[in-house]
Amino acid sequence: MEGGRPKRVKTTANRRSRSEFGSSSAQAAREGRGDPYYSLILQETRLAKFQGRKATYVRYVDLTWMAEQHFEFPHEFEAQGAVQFLELKGQVYPALVQEFYANFRYKDGSYWSMISGKLFELSEDLFMNVGGLSSNGYGVGDCGWIKETFDAGERNTNHAQPTVNDLRFMYAVKNNVMINWPEEILKVMYSVSTSQSKLLPYSIFISRVVEYLHIDVSDTIIIEYTDKDHLVGESLIHKMGIYKYGNTWKYQEDHTTVDIDLSSDEDQTGTGGQNATAQGEPSGSASQVPGFSLAHLDAMEQRLNNRMDLHFQELKDSYHADLEQCEERLYAYHDNQYQNMRNMVQSSVETQNRFIQTSIQSQSDLFSAEFQKLSTLIRGDQSLAVPEDAAYPPPSQS
């Protein structure tokens, strides 16, 4: 299935030590010398807040292979001019990505940043030359007709489910509405730069910007990713529960159950209403593939909601089962501790009682012996020898 793809070459991470800004930053950023925002002290203070913050997990795609697998979205992203951006890959400079966000700012209607002392604007030309992205198009949040056409209701707060903004993106792409991708990306970058906990996105793109601007990377950490772990291919698609049946990729559960019929009434009346062969393999006729509509979004949203509800129900059941086991173990432990404590107290009381009884008996025996001696003396049973010639003093004369 992947025989026509280039051979994957495994690479390793090349890590080298680097100071916080590198020697090039010691020039105090000639381009931003007059701007106190880019003073070395403030840069160091801001960068300290980004130390330890990791990049989001890197994924990239081979849209040519996706198109060969009869996925539709590669053609839609090609119309958006986003192919080059989605296929960006190569080595990443984590420390420089942190520095990019630490120095990111919005000023005078433009977005700026500084890396290793080089100040640069994230302009339309930069996005076009590095990512092939055009600024011609709508901002999803500003496109009124998308909001009106796609009237999404309140959603759960589950972050694993697509947000309303995500679904608006999908709706715009599927309906060939050009999106201003640089504007949307810059919004995300600005949000991340002003937060204190979010992961750092677009590390691949930022690293390609570093190379485009010829910024020195000889004294920085370099990480290179492999296709095996980061290319969106068959293994990752399978992990999402999607498998290939015939020439069509489908959710496995949809292959064994009745598909939701999203076609129009006209398609349902003819032979084109057949969605699968007798063996369960989907038909390869392109005319049977219905156009993307709001019904598709509703079905996709419902499917995702059902999947997440089932998953969280399983987690909930597992949690309650573990909680019950924990309570049982806790009660057993408390009962055992109580029994041990009771036995210890009882043993201590018995020992004390035996000691008291022994002491009382000893005192009683001693008292009896002394009393016996005293009784003998009082009764006179013991003869006292008094000498006859014993002299007694005369009685005193009064």
* 44 & 92 share domain: yes
Whole-angstrom Cα distance, residue 223 to residue 94? 8
pLDDT by 10s per residue, the chain, length 398: 444 444 433 334 444 444 444 444 344 345 556 789 999 999 999 999 999 899 998 888 888 888 888 888 888 888 899 999 999 999 999 999 999 999 999 999 999 999 999 999 999 999 999 999 998 877 766 554 444 444 433 344 444 566 777 788 888 888 888 899 999 999 999 999 998 878 999 999 999 999 999 999 999 999 988 888 888 888 888 888 888 888 888 877 665 554 444 444 444 444 444 444 434 444 333 334 444 556 667 777 778 888 888 888 888 888 888 888 888 888 888 888 888 888 889 888 888 888 888 888 888 888 888 888 888 787 765 555 555 565 556 665 55
The answer as to whether 267 is a domain residue is no
* 70 & 126 share domain: yes
- Residue finishing a domain among 230, 254, 278: 254
* 212 & 303 share domain: no
* 100 & 234 share domain: yes
Domain range for 69? 23-137+178-254
* 237 & 322 share domain: no
Q: How many domains does the chain have?
A: 2
The answer as to whether 322 is a domain residue is yes
Report helix angle 94-102 to 181-193, nearest 10.
90
The whole model's pTM is what?
0.55
The answer as to whether 339 is a domain residue is yes
* 89 & 231 share domain: yes
The answer as to whether 204 is a domain residue is yes
- What are the angstrom distances between the C-alpha of 230 and each of 5, 68, 87, 157? 15, 20, 11, 28
* 197 & 341 share domain: no
* 304 & 244 share domain: no
The answer as to whether 2 is a domain residue is no
pLDDT of residue 148: 44
- Residue finishing a domain among 192, 223, 254: 254
- Residue finishing a domain among 254, 274, 307: 254
The answer as to whether 250 is a domain residue is yes
pLDDT of residue 99: 96
Q: Are 147 and 99 in contact (CB under 8 A)?
A: no
How much of the chain is in helix, strand and coil states, percent to nearest 5?
Answer: 55, 10, 40
Q: Return the residue matching tokens 């000889």.
A: 218
pLDDT of residue 288: 41
